[in-house]
Amino acid sequence: MSAPSTASARRRGPLVHLGVDLTDAGAHPAAWRASGSRPERVFDAARLTELVARAQSGLLDFVALDDAFTLQPRSGGVRGRLDAALVAARLAPRSAGIGLVATVDTTHTEPFHVSKAIATIDHVSQGRAGWQVAWSTSDAAAAAFGRKPPQSEADAIEEADEAAHVIARLWDSWEDDAEIRDVATGRFVDREKLHYVDHEGIRFAVKGPSITPRPPQGRPPVVVPVTGDDALRLAASRADVARVQAATAEEAGELRDRLRSAAQDAERDPDELRVLVDANVVLGADEPTARARFELLQDLDDARWDGSLAHVGTAHTLTSTVEEWVRAGAADGFVLRPASLATDLDAVVAHTVPALQRLGLFRTAYPGTTLRDTLGLARPANVFATSA
C-alpha cells in the first residue's frame, strides 16, 4: 500500500468521514428478531425519523438507505422495503445537517426520473441529498418490469455510467439564476438559462431540460458501491463517494490507490473522491459481551456477511481501528453497518464519536449546510453556464 499523497493529507474537512446504513433492522439478517428491535416498526416512518435524529446527534456525514426491485435474497431476514427516494423526501424536512443518500436503480429507471427525484430531495432538504447508484442483473428484476431481458453486470454498469452522465447534465440544465420570479413582468424563468441536454447515446436519447430547478448543491453527491473492476471504473469516473469492501487496511489502501489512479486517468482530481469502507459493526461494553451478541444473532440466522471489515468488539476498539486505517491512508472513512440498529447505532454515537473527537479525528459541528460541505467537496460549476 502506497503512502497517501501530500495533497490528500492536506485535504479539507475532518480526517474521518462516517456514514451509517439504516437499511432494514440492521446489517445482520437476524436483527429484526433481536431484543429491542420491535419488528412491527420496521416499515414505520417514525422509526426512521428517530434513527436519523440519532445519527444526526452524532454529527455523522450521512445516512444511507438501500433499495432494490427484488426481495432480499435471504428468507430469514426482513422481506420487502420502502422506496428509498420517497423515504428520504419524507426525512428531509424532519432532519438537519445530516446527508440523506437514497439508492436508485438505473437499469429499470429512466435518467429523467432519477434526476428529478434526487433534485427534489435536495430542494426539500436544502442541500443534503445524495444518490447511491444501483443496477440490476437478475431475472426477477427484469420480470418485474417486462421491458427488457436481464443484463450482464458489465452491461448494466455501462448503462449506469451513461445514466449518471445524463443525470448530471439534467441537474445542470437549469442555470443557478434561471428563476427570475418577476411579478411585475410575469416572467418566472429566464428561458435563455434553461438548456436542452440533447443527449443521443447508446441507451438513452434525452432532450431535456429538466422540469426541476438546479439542486441547491448543483449536483448532489454521487455514491457508487465498488463491487468489482467495472464498478471501480464507474466510481473513478462518476462518483464523489466510493463505497468499497475490504477486510484489511492493506486491501483497503490498495483499492483506494486504484480508485485515485483511475480518477486521475479519467481527468479528475483524485482529492475530490472520498473512499469509504463498509464496516459491519457489533458493539458491546466489553469484548465478551460483543462476542455473545454476535453469537446470539448467528444462532438466530447463521449469516455470512459480505467480505468487508467486520468489527465485533467495543466502541474503544472500533475507534482504534478507524484511527489506524485513516492515519495509514487506507480510507477516507467508513460507512458503518450496525448489526442491529436498535443497539449498535446508539453505541457508535454515544462512545465511538466522542472518542474520535477527543483524538481530533472527527468534527464537533457540521461545517456547513450541505452534504457537499460535510464531505469537503466543492459545489460544481454548471457545464452549460461555463461553456456559454
pLDDT per residue as tens digits for the range 220-276: 999 999 999 999 999 999 999 999 999 999 999 999 999 999 999 999 999 999 999
* 102: CB partners within 8 A, 6+ apart: 65, 67, 84, 85, 87, 88, 117, 118, 121, 129, 130, 131, 132
Q: Which of 17, 11, 13 is nearest to 277 (CA)?
A: 17
- What is residue 8's predicted lDDT score, i.e. its pLDDT? 39
Tell me the pLDDT tens digit for each residue of 337-375.
999 999 999 999 999 999 999 999 999 999 999 999 999
The pTM assigned to this predicted structure is 0.94
Q: Which domains does the chain have, with CATH numbers?
A: 6-150+211-387 (3.20.20.30)
Asked if pLDDT for residue 13 goes beyond 50, the answer is no
Asked if pLDDT for residue 14 goes beyond 90, the answer is no
Tally: H helices and E strands in the chain: 14, 13
Residue 15 binned pLDDT confidence (cut-offs 50, 70, 90): confident
Residue 36 binned pLDDT confidence (cut-offs 50, 70, 90): confident
Tell me the pLDDT tens digit for each residue of 135-166.
999 999 999 999 999 999 999 999 999 999 99
Cβ(29)–Cβ(339) under 8 Å?
Answer: no
Tell me the pLDDT tens digit for each residue of 293-319.
999 999 998 888 888 999 999 999 999
Asked if pLDDT for residue 388 goes beyond 70, the answer is no
User: What mean pLDDT is reported for the chain?
Assistant: 93
Q: Which of 68, 160, 65, 67 is nearest to 107 (CA)?
A: 160
- What is residue 7's predicted lDDT score, i.e. its pLDDT? 37
CA-derived radius of gyration, the chain: 21
Average pLDDT, integer, range 160-181: 96
- What is residue 75's predicted lDDT score, i.e. its pLDDT? 62
Asked if pLDDT for residue 6 goes beyond 60, the answer is no
Block residue for cell numbers 445482520: 28
- What is residue 387's predicted lDDT score, i.e. its pLDDT? 57
Cβ(226)–Cβ(275) under 8 Å?
Answer: no
Task: Write the DSSP assignment of 202-219 as a string of letters.
Answer: SS-EE----SSPPPTTSS
Tell me the pLDDT tens digit for each residue of 56-105.
999 999 999 999 999 887 767 888 999 999 999 999 999 999 999 999 99
b/e 4-15 (16+ beta carbons within 10 angstroms → b): beeeeeebebbb
Phi, psi of 4 (to 5 degrees): -65, 145
Q: Which of 210, 261, 230, 213 is nearest to 2 (CA)?
A: 261
- What is residue 5's predicted lDDT score, i.e. its pLDDT? 39
Give the number of C-alpha atoms closer than 13 A to the C-alpha of residue 140, restricted to the C-beta side. Answer: 6
Cβ(338)–Cβ(60) under 8 Å?
Answer: no
Look at residue 143 and give its three-state secondary structure: helix
* CA–CA distance, 88 with 44 (Å, rounded to integer): 13
Asked if pLDDT for residue 10 goes beyond 70, the answer is no
DSSP 8-class letter at 351: I
Give the number of C-alpha atoms closer than 13 A to the C-alpha of residue 354, restricted to the C-beta side. Answer: 7
Tell me the pLDDT tens digit for each residue of 101-132.
999 999 999 999 999 999 999 999 999 999 99
- What is residue 76's predicted lDDT score, i.e. its pLDDT? 72
Q: Which of 378, 367, 339 is nearest to 61 (CA)?
A: 367
